[in-house]
Amino acid sequence: MAFKELDTAGWQALDSAHYLHPFTDHANLAKTGSRVAVRGEGVYVWDNNGDRIIDGLSGLGCVNIGYGRPELAKAVYDQMLDLSYCQSFFNTTHRSAVELADTLTSMLPEGLNHVFFQSSGSEANETAVRLIRKYWDLVGRPEKRVIIARELAYHGSTHMAASLSGITPMHYAGGDLPLPGIARINTPYQYRHGANMTADDFGVVAARWLEDKILEIGPENVAAFFAEPAQSAGGAICPPMTYWPEVQRICRKYDVLLVADEVVCGFGRTGDWFGCYHYGFVPDIMQLGKGLTSGYLPLSACVISDRITDVLIGLGGEWAHGYTYSGHPACCAVALENIRILREEKIVENAKAELVPYFKAKLETFVDHPLIGDVRSVGLMGGLEIVKDKKTGESYLYEEHIGPYCSAEAMKRGLAFRANGDTMSLMPPLVITKDQLDTVFDIAREALDATAKHLGKM
């Protein structure tokens, strides 16, 4: 087939015939046709029709340094010429994986000194669960099996990662989910669970839901608490600053491992290099991904504390776990170059100083919009929650698909604006400019106004 001769309709037909997409209603997609992306540069993506879209989502919260950086392409090219692939089994290593592991551990809190590489956040979370269960077995406490996670969490789509996730439609996708051994608590979602409290008071109250659950199950049975520093797919749920220090205190009190899924929050999303720095806590295990390579190649990391690795190495014998692409040379090379660019151009620091306050202020101008019940953000992650009744906080029914309607209105105008339920989420690249943010928010307002008119609210 002469693919170069295909027009948009031709690509859409082939897509519909052969390509199954993630988290997609394929019957509806067949009616509308896919958007065919062809090029990206900076904060923009162009489609097959020549339309330019400003990416308000950094892909899926991953393209932190923007599209089209030639330095990353060159890093991959150079690495592939030297060593295109190297397995990490059979007592074999290679330089880019070792250098990246050393680089990452030098950036993270003291005591997080070992790294295990995978290709995706889901795989990193699977690795974390294997480590948790193996650790408690090796120290002679196999009864500590239960992992506590949160409502509206997102940890990935593999069996265990989906089980840890608290987005219930994922549990109906097949596979008898969730798997056993998972308990759940409410998320620190102040708009829904603590609207009449101060943020500081609510943070402590929400953290103590974890303590209540530990005591209900029995501390002797609880292995770990598993959570994102701030929840992106749950709808930009950003806990108060008092939340994580209290969670850490509770985990230490009851000897429960603290696991931070930083797949989204890592590499600048919260305004600091990592969410644990922003919120002031130190995990026992941390998962990284997305911003690790700015999405240029698939790579994730599970970073492990000395407490766990000392036992695993000293008592564990063979660590019978791994992946064909663990520590892939090209992926590690692009991660190293991505981190170099972030550091040398001070992208995270500049975003924190210049963009984060501007982003927050622009978000807060939507407080008076007739559809918006809550505005929330941390760093360059923000959410505008659409409600049916601003006074009561009543939501629209899921079946009304108001968030997706608003998202489609934004896309018509050239903005990728994600609907997490009825929370409209933004996670722009860390290299976006203030002028580009003005465009993002102008289009977001137009899309919300169009949605309000559709609902008879304007």
The CATH code belonging to domain 35-68+346-454 is 3.90.1150.10
pLDDT band at 8 (very low <50, low <70, confident <90, very high): very high
State how far Cα 23 lies from the chain centre: 15
Q: How far is CA 359 from CA 138, 277, 343, 383, in A?
A: 47, 20, 22, 11
Is there a contact between 422 and 430 (Cβ–Cβ < 8 Å)? Answer: no
What is the rounded CA–CA span in Å between residue 254 and residue 418?
38
The CATH class of the 71-344 domain is alpha beta
Sheet order of strands, 418-420 included: 372-378, 381-386, 423-426, 418-420
Average pLDDT on 368-374 reads 97
**For residues 420-443, average pLDDT:** 97
CA–CA–CA angle 377, 379, 384 (5° rounding) = 25
**Residue 57 pLDDT:** 97
> 3-class DSSP state for residue 439?
helix
pLDDT average, residue stretch 180-188:
97
- The pLDDT confidence band at residue 113, using thresholds 50, 70 and 90, is very high
Residue 299 pLDDT grade (very low, low, confident, very high; cuts 50, 70, 90): very high
Model confidence at 390: pLDDT above 80: yes
Three-state DSSP class for residue 285? strand
Interatomic CA distance for residues 95 and 188, integer angstroms: 42
Per DSSP, the three-state class of 115 is strand
Between CA 62 and CA 296 the distance in angstroms is 9
Backbone angles phi, psi at 12, to 5 degrees: -65, -40
Residue 54, beta-bridge partner list: 44, 415
Rounded (to 5) percent helix, strand, coil in the chain: 45, 15, 40
Torsion angle (degrees, nearest 10) of CA 110, 114, 118, 120? -10
Per-residue confidence (pLDDT) for residue 264, from 0 to 100: 98
Rg, C-alpha atoms of the chain: 22
Please check the confidence at residue 243 and state whether its pLDDT lies above 90: yes
Interval 214-226 mean pLDDT:
98
Give 3-10 contacts, CB < 8 A, sequence gap 24+.
Answer: 7/48, 8/33, 8/36, 8/47, 8/48, 8/49, 9/33
Q: What local confidence, expressed as pLDDT, does residue 2 receive? A: 80
Smallest CA-to-CA distance from 417 within 452, 458, 445 is with 445
| H/E element, 416 | strand 415-416
Residue 234 has pLDDT above 80, yes or no: yes
| Residues 198 and 206 sit within 8 Å (Cβ to Cβ) | no
Q: Is the pTM of this model over 0.75?
A: yes
Can you give the pLDDT at residue 174? 77
Eight-class DSSP state of 353 = I
Picking from 211, 222, 284, 199, the residue whose alpha carbon sits closest to that of residue 247 is 211
CA angle 372, 377, 381 (to 5 degrees): 110
- Reported as type and span, the H/E element at residue 112 is strand 112-118
Task: Give pLDDT, residue 173.
Answer: 79
The token pair at 22 is 């993630």
Q: 274 forms bridges with which residues in the sheet?
A: none
The pLDDT, as a whole number, for residue 297 is 98
Q: Where are the domains of the chain?
A: 35-68+346-454, 71-344
Q: Could you tell me if 270 and 360 are in contact, meaning their C-beta atoms sit under 8 angstroms apart?
A: no
DSSP class of 219: G
H-helix or E-strand spanning residue 310: helix 306-315
Query: What residue has token string 């992946």?
Result: 323
Q: Considering the chain, what is the average pLDDT of its residues?
A: 96
Instruction: Give the C-alpha separation, 29 to 361, whole Å.
Output: 36
Query: What's residue 119's pLDDT?
Result: 98
Residue 384 amino acid letter: L
Nearest residue to 16 (alpha-carbon basis) of 1, 3, 34:
34
User: Concatenated DSSP letters for 226-295?
Assistant: EE-SSBSTTTSB---TTHHHHHHHHHHHTT-EEEEE-TTTTTTTTSSSSHHHHHT---SEEEE-GGGTTT
Give mean pLDDT, residues 239-268: 98
Distance between CA atoms of 440 and 277, rounded to whole angstroms? 28
Which three-class secondary structure state does DSSP give residue 24?
A: coil
Q: Which of 420, 122, 62, 117 is nearest to 266 (CA)?
A: 62
H or E segment and range at residue 377: strand 372-378
